[in-house]
Amino acid sequence: MKIWHIALNDLLVTRSSPSTWLFLFAVPAILVVVLALPNGGFQDPNAPVYQRLDVIDSDQSPASSDLLMHMRRANATLLLCPIDNDETDRCGLGDAAFTLELATERLRQGRTEGYLTIPAGFGEAVIGQTPFKLGFYSLPTTELNPQEPLLQTVNAALTRVNALATAQRFADVLYADLGGNPEFSQQVYQRAQSYWATEPITIRFEQTPAATINSDQPVGFQQSVPGTGSMYVMNVVLAGSVVLLLERKQGTMQRILTMPVSQGAFIAGKMLSRVILGMIQFMVAFAVGLLFGTRYGSDPIALILLMFAFVLCISGLALLLATVIKSEEQGSGLALFLMLTLAPLGGAWWSLELEFIPEFMRVIGNLTPVGWVMNGFNKLIVQDGGLIAVLPNIGILVAVAGVLFAIASYRLRYEQ
Amino acid sequence: MTASSSPSLVQIRGLGKTYKRADGTPVKAVKNIDLDILTGEIFSLLGPNGAGKSTTISMISGLIPPTQGEAHIGGYSIVKQPMQAKRLMGVVPQEIALYPTLSARQNLEFFGRMYDMQGAALRQRVDEVLEVIDLKDRQHDRVETFSGGMKRRVNIGVGLLNKPQLIYMDEPTVGIDPQNRRRILDTVLLLREQYKMTVLYTTHLMEEAQELSDRVGIIDHGEIIACGTQTELMHRVGEEDRLILSIDQPNVSDTVLTRFQTEIDGVQRAVCEINPDDHSVKLIIFAQRGRKALPDAIRLANDAGVKVTSVEVREPDLESLFLKLTGRALRD
């Protein structure tokens, strides 16, 4: 009971400071939004993402229309510009007149994945089964480039159009030899078309708004909410090391220890208040994310357990810090240093899976508590995992917390 | 175990504390103290700064463990039964040990909970304490907005919360104005008269010890060098008065000091004392009848070329006892 009262008193003291509301609520809330921007902004990670492909159709024939139709069917993420543009200007064309030069420029600026030119005569070539060249242009590719599936899309559509044309030509030849109805071949074409209605092969291509690596990478608020939360948990909990020092400095710790209160109860009370503040900090960050429509997976219990394990781990670190520091300035400086080092290193500011993160940094990051908790959040929020998925993360955080508390308890000396 | 039926509420035997300096050198802060504090008395531990008063209080309040010896409070060992012993005592530390951003009432309620008080009983006790320290009208104000004296009173209030049998007060009047000092001294007397508490009061001010105490222990360099009632202690000084001559020069030679002893009847000895704060210099002459020796002392001073700026005759007191025992003034 005394532990609880010590914790409540600590919270009361924290609340009585005018800067509490600013640093406990306002700053992290703002940072959640700010940090979301470079990580993909306000886009809904679950919303469909289109790949823009500019099309210059100089043929305007039924065959070219069919080609484009089959491309759409083969790849649902494909946005053919300017043909599929709408009032929201999904193609991003604005008022500009669409020309080959514009398409080239758009590709160069990275506003499209490529452009396709269908020269005049394409329809006749298809019907006549004569060699013909389409133009597909994209920028030099990387191993994870999105152009590869686009090219597959074009080829798949071309195969279909060619197959249809072949069927029609076959019918033409057949009925020319048999002196049949000249409309027959057209009917064969349409029948063949209907046979292709169910798409046997589709190109499935998914792209995240952030930058295109894979769908397991957190985006926008999926990254900034747990990232900011973790960082501010460190901020508020590591400050606990200074609180112990302050209590000693202002004599309140000594006074409490002359009362029927054990040293263990005193420390436990102080740590409990930090755990509560840490959980509040997580709640603030996650509440802000909710306001912006962020979804946190389907296992809230696992989410809370993961948060708690991280807060516990950082509390152990704070207590250990309290046994090392000799002054308030030293404590604050060390806490700030740890926060500003562990947060980016462990992936609180950006995903460790991003391309520009060097492999050795990724390895180091995954050895930090922030790395473990962010990995856990990723499993729950992005991959929609459950408690089983994050048990290793929770386990290692709790184990490390235990080790840190044990070392800190050993080192703690209350003798003046 | 029940509280002892002995008239001594506090029994200290062979208590000592040795610290180690950063270089590993041991420092004996308190040496082998034996002391009994009787139920219902005000006992003052008088000594200069750094004499070991606070270390002694810290050990017998369970804050730091002794390196030797033992203390019993109401029959409970502070080392082996600290929780039972702590329930009998209240501690008023030298510094203001309060939460400055909380109100007086919030502070008192929190510390009350540390004694397992709660609900209506806690609220009632806090009201009572606020009455005693005369701060009921400011109970909801933050402690940081209080004057030094008001903070001291809240500091004392916390020590009274659990209605202790024994209250330690470690220099509670340090750094406050005369009006608040008077109020605190009156509160200490009230604790004994009205609430029948036993008070262990540490101070370096002889006047406070003389005014408050039933008995006084004089501590210096970690040792109790004298202990008893004021009458008993005065006997140790003898009937010596002190002639205190303020002089306007940095020192007086040993030859001149010896002349006071040999040339004036009834003078036992003479010493020269320099106040480290204002560097004023005083010539102190111990004489059996101070007023009688005064004219000869002034004449001799003039003969020796010592310029006297003021003269004071003091009868025996704790200050003179300390001076006699240690050769130093209390404030040194």
CATH assignment of A51-207?
Answer: 3.40.1710
Please, which residues bridge with residue B47 across strands? none
Q: What percent of chain A shows pLDDT beyond 90?
A: 12
In our burial notation (b when 16+ CB lie closer than 10 A, e otherwise), range A183-206 reads ebbeebbeebbeebeeeeeebebe
pLDDT at A340: 87
Chain B residues within 8 A of A18 when measuring between CB atoms: none
Mark yes or no for CB contact B114/A251 under 8 Å: no
Side chain identity at A375, as an amino acid letter? Answer: N
Half-sphere exposure of B3 (CA within 13 A, CB side): 15
Distance from the Cα of A273 to chain B's closest Cα (Å) equals 15
- Split at pLDDT 50, 70, 90, the class of A176 is low
Determine the residue of chain A that is closest to B167 in CA distance: A258
Q: For the range B103-106, what are the long-range contacts, defined as Cβ-Cβ under 8 Å and sequence gap of 24 or more?
A: B103/B139, B103/B140, B103/B141, B103/B142, B103/B143, B104/B130, B104/B135, B104/B138, B104/B139, B104/B140, B104/B141, B104/B143, B104/B146, B104/B154, B104/B157, B105/B130, B105/B139, B105/B140, B106/A12
Which among A45-59, A169-183, B113-127, B273-287 has the top mean pLDDT?
B113-127
Chain B residues within 8 A of A252 when measuring between CB atoms: 97-99
* Residue in A1, A252, A254 nearest the CB of B99: A252
How many residues can be counted in chain B?
332
Q: What is the mean pLDDT of residues A266-271?
A: 88
State chain B's mean pLDDT as an integer.
87
pTM confidence score: 0.68
Question: What is the rounded distance in angstroms from the CA atom of residue B317 to the CA atom of residue B322?
Answer: 9
- Split at pLDDT 50, 70, 90, the class of A48 is low
What digits encode the pLDDT tens for the residues A296-353? 888 899 999 999 999 999 998 888 888 888 888 888 888 888 888 888 887 878 777 7
pLDDT at A143: 46
Distance from the Cα of A398 to chain B's closest Cα (Å) equals 30
What digits encode the pLDDT tens for the residues A320-329? 888 888 888 8
Q: Which two tokens stand for residue A181?
A: 């109805």
Higher pLDDT, B332 or A287: A287
pLDDT at A165: 75
pLDDT at A311: 93
Phi first, then psi, for residue A196 (nearest 5°) are -85, 0
Question: What is the rounded distance in angstroms from the CA atom of residue B192 to the CA atom of residue B215?
Answer: 13
Question: What is the rounded distance in angstroms from the CA atom of residue A114 to the CA atom of residue A135?
Answer: 10
Q: What is the mean pLDDT of residues B262-269?
A: 86
Higher pLDDT, B185 or B317: B185
What digits encode the pLDDT tens for the residues A389-409? 889 999 999 999 999 888 887
Determine the residue of chain A that is closest to B116 in CA distance: A2
DSSP 8-state symbol, A97: P
Cα B158 to the center of its chain, rounded Å? 20
Q: What is the mean pLDDT of residues B219-236?
A: 85
Mark yes or no for CB contact B110/A5 under 8 Å: yes
pLDDT at B115: 94
Q: What is the mean pLDDT of residues A240-255?
A: 88
Mark yes or no for CB contact A252/B97 under 8 Å: yes
- The tokens 């029609």 sit on which residue? A168
Tell me the domain boundaries of chain A. Answer: 2-43+218-415, 51-207
- Split at pLDDT 50, 70, 90, the class of A46 is low
pLDDT at B331: 57
Half-sphere exposure of B332 (CA within 13 A, CB side): 13
Mark yes or no for CB contact B86/A256 under 8 Å: no
Closest listed residue to residue A371, CA positions, set A348, A338, A391: A348
**Chain A with chain B: Cβ pairs closer than 8 A:** 74
Q: Mapping DSSP to helix (H, G, I), strand (E, B) and coil, where does residue B286 land?
A: strand
Q: Which of A13, A255, A263 to mutate to test the interface with B (most CBs of B within 10 A)?
A: A255
Q: What is the mean pLDDT of residues B220-228?
A: 89
B→A contacts (Cβ < 8 Å), by residue, are 58, 61-65, 82-83, 86-87, 89, 91, 93, 95-102, 106, 110-111, 113-116, 142, 158, 162
What digits encode the pLDDT tens for the residues A194-230? 666 554 444 444 443 433 434 567 777 788 888 888 8
Alpha-carbon separation of residue A335 from A239, A318, A320, A322, A404 (angstroms): 7, 8, 11, 10, 16
Side chain identity at A90, as an amino acid letter? Answer: R
* Residue in B64, B89, B99 nearest the CB of A13: B99
Mark yes or no for CB contact B64/A416 under 8 Å: yes
Centre a 10 Å sphere on the Cβ of residue B19 and count the other Cβ atoms it contains: 15
Q: What does R_g of chain A's alpha carbons equal in angstroms?
A: 31
Mark yes or no for CB contact B95/A257 under 8 Å: no
Check pLDDT > 90 for residue B15: yes
Mark yes or no for CB contact A260/B97 under 8 Å: no
Q: What is the mean pLDDT of residues B55-64?
A: 90
How many residues can be counted in chain A?
416
pLDDT at A47: 58
Alpha-carbon separation of residue B154 from A118, B62, B121, B150, B279 (angstroms): 90, 22, 19, 6, 36
Question: What is the rounded distance in angstroms from the CA atom of residue B190 to the CA atom of residue B185?
Answer: 9
Alpha-carbon separation of residue A156 from A16, A72, A152, A202, B159 (angstroms): 68, 11, 6, 8, 87
CB A55 within 8 A of CB A83: yes
